[in-house]
Amino acid sequence: MIAIYDTLTRRLRDVPAEETINIYCCGPTVYRDAHVGNLRTFLLADLIVRALKLDGRQVRLIRRFPKRR
């Protein structure tokens, strides 16, 4: 069983295997030249999704990319 921190209830919650996990990933806000640190957001989200899928979970990942200024 996987448990995740539910920010709405502020508690750990067991996630049943048949439940789809929805992840919202806000992209980096880059004010200057891009660097490796800006990719952390995408790498971490990708790592979590891959680990959950490897465990046989259904995952829906939504990524938001900020507008260029």
Instruction: Judge whether residue 17 has pLDDT over 70.
Output: yes
Mean pLDDT over each residue of the chain, to the nearest integer: 84
What is the distance between the terminal CA atoms of the chain, rounded to a whole angstrom?
43
Residue 52: Cβ within 10 Å count:
18
Spatial distance between the Cα atoms of 5 and 11, rounded to a whole number of angstroms: 6
The pTM of the whole model exceeds 0.85: no
- 8 pLDDT tier (thresholds 50, 70, 90): very high
The reported pLDDT for the residue numbered 68 is 62
Mean pLDDT of 11-21: 88
Contact (CB, 8 A) for 1 and 39: no
